[in-house]
Amino acid sequence: MADSLGISEAQILGLFLASVFWGMLVITFVQTMRYLLWDSNAEGGGLKHASKINWPMLVVALLLMALSTFDVSLGLMHSIEAFIFYTGPGGSAARFTGLTDWVNILKTCNVVFGKVISDGILIYRCWTICNRSIVIIIFPILLWMGYLGTGIFVIYLEASAGNPRVLLTGGLSKLTPSITAGWTMSLANNIITTGIIVYRIWRVDRTNALYGIQTQESSLQGTHGLFGRSKRRRTKLQNVIRIIIESGLMYTTIAFITFITFVVGSNSFYPTSDAELQILSIAFNLIIIRISTRPSSSESYHSTSAQLAAPQTFPLRKFNFAMKRTVENTNPEVESAPYSVASANKLPHESFLDVEEGSWSQRAKSTLDPH
C-alpha cells in the first residue's frame, strides 16, 4: 500500500529516535550499575562482594545495553552506506529495502533476541514471586517459546530470501504471517505475566491490611488533601505494584504501536521498531532504579525490601470476647448460662504471607532488590 512516509525518511527518523532513547538508556544504565554493584551500606561505600551481587539482573542489564548499542551502531552505518557510499540504481531506498542485506538481518536479530531476553526475565520474576510454581508460568513459557521459534524462523526466511527489494510493511513478504504471530505472542506474554506479578503482590498487600500490618509509609496518619480530607498513604507493596505497572506499560505501549504500524503496512514501523529495543531496556532499568530509590523521608530502601525479605510475622494481641450459647435445656435443674471465652492469647501459627500465599518473600526480593 502507498505510504506518505518514504523508506529513506523512515530510516532517518528511526535513527534519530533510537539515538535519543539510547542517550536516556545510558543514563539509566549507569544508575542501574550503581545499584547492582555498589554497596552503599558499607562504611565509606565500595563494590559489593560477589556473593551479594544479583547476577541474573546484572547479566540481563549488560546484554540489553549491548544489544541496544549495537542496534544504534547498525542504524548509523546503514544510513551512511545508503546515503553516501551506495551509488547503484534506486538510490538510498534500494539500499534500505534489500531484505537479505546483512545489516537488516542483524537488526532483526537484535529485536528478536532483545525481546526474548526481556520476556524471559519477566517470566523469571513471575516464577520467583509465585513461589517458584511451574504451573503458573506454563502458558507464559509456551508463548515465550512460540515467539523464539517464530523469531528464528523469520531470521531464516530473511537470510534465505535471495535478494528481493521488498518492504516488511508491504504485506507481500513471506515474513508477514510469522512476524504478526510472533509479535502477538510477545505482547500477550507481557500483559499476562505482568498481570500475574501485580495480582500476586496485590494479594499479599491485601492480606497485610487484613491483619493490620502497616509500615510507616502506609500509616493512617497521612497528610490531608484538598477540602480537609485525610488521605491514606500507599503501602510499600502498592508502590511496587505502581512501579511495575508503569514500567511495563511504557514498553507494552511502544510494542503495541509498533505492532499496529506493521499490521496496517505503514513505514512508521521502522522508526517505532528502532525505538522499541531502547525503550525495552530503559523499562527494565527503571524497575531496578525506582525500587532502589523508594525510601521515604524517614527511612531507606532496606525497610521496603525487609517487608518482602524478612520472616513475615505479626504481633499477636490478647483479646477478650463473650458469646452466649443457647442450647435446648432438657434438664430443668440446669440453667443456661453465658459461655465466656477469654484470653485468646494466640492466633493460629500463620504468618500474613503463609495464610494464602506461602513463603515467597525472600525469592521476591531477589527479583526486585538489587541489594
Average pLDDT over residues 125-134: 90
> How buried is 316 (Cβ within 10 angstroms: 0-12 exposed, 13-18 middle, 19+ buried)?
exposed
Residue 313 has a pLDDT of 47
Nearest to 309 by CA among 357, 269, 346, 360: 360
Residue 220 has a pLDDT of 43
Question: Hey, is 164 helix, strand or coil?
Answer: coil
Residue 173 domain flag = yes
Total count of residues recorded for the chain: 371
Residue 208 domain flag = yes
User: Would you place residue 347 in the very low, low, confident or very high pLDDT band (cuts 50, 70, 90)?
Assistant: very low
Residue 345 domain flag = no
CATH number, domain of 177, equals 1.20.1070
Residue 239 has a pLDDT of 84
d(CA 182, CA 59): 25
Cell numbers at residue 178, please? 510469522
Residue 274 domain flag = yes
Question: Hey, is 179 helix, strand or coil?
Answer: helix
Residue 1 domain flag = no
Q: Which residues pair with 322 in a beta bridge?
A: 340
Q: What DSSP letter does each residue of 317-339 carry, written as one string?
A: --EEEEE--------TTS----E
Residue 297 domain flag = yes
**pLDDT tens, position by position, 13-40:** 999 999 999 999 999 999 999 999 988 7
Q: Is the pLDDT at 302 greater than 70, yes or no?
A: no
Residue 343 domain flag = no
Residue 223 has a pLDDT of 46
In which domain, by residue range, is 17 found? 7-311+363-368
Residue 327 domain flag = no
Look at the chain and report how many structural domains it folds into.
Answer: 1
CB 193 within 8 A of CB 123: yes
- For 213-233, b/e burial (b = at least 16 CB within 10 A) is bebebbeeeeeeeeeeeeeeb
Residue 224 has a pLDDT of 47
